[in-house]
Structure 1
Amino acid sequence: MDQKIPYEDYQLPVVFLPSYENPPAWIPPRERVHHPNYNNELTQFLPRTVVLKKPPGAQLGFNIRGGKASQLGIFISKVVPDSDAHRAGLQEGDQVLSVNEVDFQDIEHSRAVEILKTAREIMMRVRFFPYNYQRQKERTVH
């Protein structure tokens, strides 16, 4: 019954579609706020300010990737567990919007590293942006 027809024997145009999946059950909007299938917590995506103080010779507690070449910005790529950066709330996937009032949305990677390494007190404006972070990882080697 499930006999395959050779490609050449199909009438044109040929379109192969994935198998059909039933959509999820519809839930009225007023019931979505407390429904377990809906995450209504969007505040995690809002910009926030993180302040870090770095003694001379100390590490930042996080790594960055990206920059002007990728056209997606600078992102936190790693946060050292139990570091000041971790305690301040930085997480992998945070986009660095600015550091000490320097715009980081269109900055060279090397310049961003220089600013972060030379500052003693770092006031960062960041936002959690996992979609662009994933695109960043696919595009860059930093």
Structure 2
Amino acid sequence: MDHFQDHVIHHGTVALAIRDYGGHGSPIVLLHGGTRNLGDWAMIAPILATRHRVVALDFRSHGASTPCGATWTVADAVADVRAVVDTLHLDIPWLIGHSIGGMVATQYAAKQGTCRGVVNIDGVGVSLPPVLPGSDPIGTRKQLQMMITQMVEALP
């Protein structure tokens, strides 16, 4: 059973949905890809939370965060991440982002300079078989779980 708490953090007029997986150790902020949401991290977040404080964020106009139309920018997203980091007192977090989340993580590190490191994942996410014809979903899931465990064990 996964343990997490969903919250909303207000940044100006925007309500940002976050999922706090708890945990102890250096904080990790998880940033999803475009048109996705914080639920994308449901498989890896509990594993990371065994050694880190883990928080996933819904960007503006994604998931349960405030819809903003097409007016938001990467700079807005960087400021939103900063608001989450500050509000939750996530002292010098790791940032892990997929697709646009990786771009935001990289820009955050470049502009804010207050993170331990960035993992920029610019690849496909975990998808159901219709999206990846011919794949073996059970075998793929086992491989991903093994890879995730190895990555977590390699973290400082």
TM-score category (smaller protein): under 0.3
Structure number with bigger Rg:
1
TM-score (norm 1): 0.26
Structure with higher helix content? 2
Greater RCO, CA 8 A, separation 6+: 1
Q: TM-score, normalised by structure 2?
A: 0.24
